Amino acid sequence: MTDRQKLTNGIAPRVILATYVLGGVGGVVFTLLGMPLGMLLGSLLAVAGAASGGVRLFGALPAVPQAWRYVLMPVIGVAIGGSFPADFLEQAARWWFTLAALVVFVPVAHALAYGLYRRVGGIDARTAFFSAMPGGFLEALEMGEKAGADVPMLLMLQFLRLILCIVFVPIAFALLTGKVVGSGAGLEWPGAEVPLMARDIAVLVGAGVLGWWGAHRLRFPAAVLSGPLLLSALAHVTGLTSATPPGWLILITQWVVGTALGSRFGAFEGRRMWLALRLSALNVALVLMVAGVIALILAGPVGEPVPAVILAFAPGGITEMSLVALSLQMSAVYVTMHHLLRIVLAVIFARLGMALLPKGDD
């Protein structure tokens, strides 16, 4: 394989270009219609619809190299780091209520999803167990494959858990709050209005690159986000910069991430995908109901609005849920910290629970 083929993952460049154009058109249309997270959802749904419908672009299903989206995802971490409030430590001291609640929430959410997949979906125990993990997408795939799970079904259930949260949570919040989540006009947060100078650009790029590299070396959860977030927060707290990435760069990140996620649907088998879609929809609805109850009880003690607490417990992608928090001008730091802990706890409880799985064939 040539260097160019490695860079494009063997996908024809014209197919990649056409896929991004398709995603871009969907994103622009959704944004113009005032849809929540328009660039992300529009590109995702446009490409997913084409991929699952068998639409061919130059003789191939829509496809882009999945690794490309990681080049831009640190932008979100840098933006969140720039939103660290001056009284962060004072606020964080109140968060222990919901951080402690995650220790109970994660195994409960795992158990509910496991029972749903087993009893309603009739899925074997190993596949149901790792598909039910409410976090740790890559870790679930790795552990499930080693344990002998049905990897295609595991992939579909875990992927659809993320996608359904990405799609429905912003829409629900837009309806409840009356705000267009992630629109071009509303995509601003503390620091977005500060003019970017050469020094600011150097600091922000350094936080993104060095943060990602360092977090990856130290094996942090969600290293592509957590590392840039921490270094960006340090840079802002110490006064190195007060600027954050511009809104147009966030929109490009949404477009690239949404297009990449949407192209994954071309690999799913139709009949089994519909089963996975129904099960995932039930799972996400059930978990969000539990998150809503927790939010109503604990929003007051932690000093955060109910939507922020729901976002902190929503079983969606950490990047996308953080984008929603940024767009609604909630505490993206609060939401992100909870999602990082959710991923860690999901992996820990899954490793502990593996011992309870049936030993023979299911």
Residue 88, in any domain of the structure: yes
178-186: average pLDDT: 51
pLDDT at 362: 55
> Quick check: 318 pLDDT over 80?
no
- Whether 150 maps to a domain, the answer reads yes
Q: What is the DSSP letter of 73?
A: T
Phi first, then psi, for residue 101 (nearest 5°) are -65, -30
The least confident of 80-89, 230-239, 281-290 is: 80-89
Structural domain boundaries enclosing 306: 74-243+269-356
With respect to residue 126, please indicate whether it lies within any of the assigned structural domains: yes
**Conformation bin of residue 178: beta by default, left when phi > 0, alpha when psi is -120 to 50:** left
The answer to whether residue 2 is domain-embedded is no
Residue 15 is predicted with a pLDDT of: 92
pTM: 0.73
- Determine the residue type at 144: G
Lowest-confidence region among 23-27, 88-92, 190-194, 197-201: 190-194
In a domain, 194, yes or no: yes
Is residue 192 situated within a structural domain? Answer: yes
Residue 45 lies in a domain: no
DSSP-assigned beta bridge partners for residue 60: 57
Greatest mean pLDDT among 2-6, 131-135, 138-142, 233-237 lies in: 131-135
Pairwise CA distance, residues 88 & 95, whole Å: 11
Number of structural domains, the chain? Answer: 1
CA 297 – CA 71 distance, rounded (Å): 39
pLDDT at 240 exceeding the cut of 60: yes
Task: Give the confidence band of 187 by pLDDT, cuts at 50, 70, 90.
Answer: very low
Which of 21, 80, 82, 76 is closest to 251 using CA atoms? 76
Q: What is the pLDDT of residue 183?
A: 47
Rounded CA-CA distance 220/341 in Å is 11
Contact 222, 71 (CB under 8 A): no
Q: What is the pLDDT of residue 267?
A: 67
How many of the other CB atoms lie within 10 Å of CB of 233? 21
For the chain, the maximum distance between any two Cα atoms, rounded to a whole number of angstroms, is 62
Does the residue 146 lie in any domain? Answer: yes
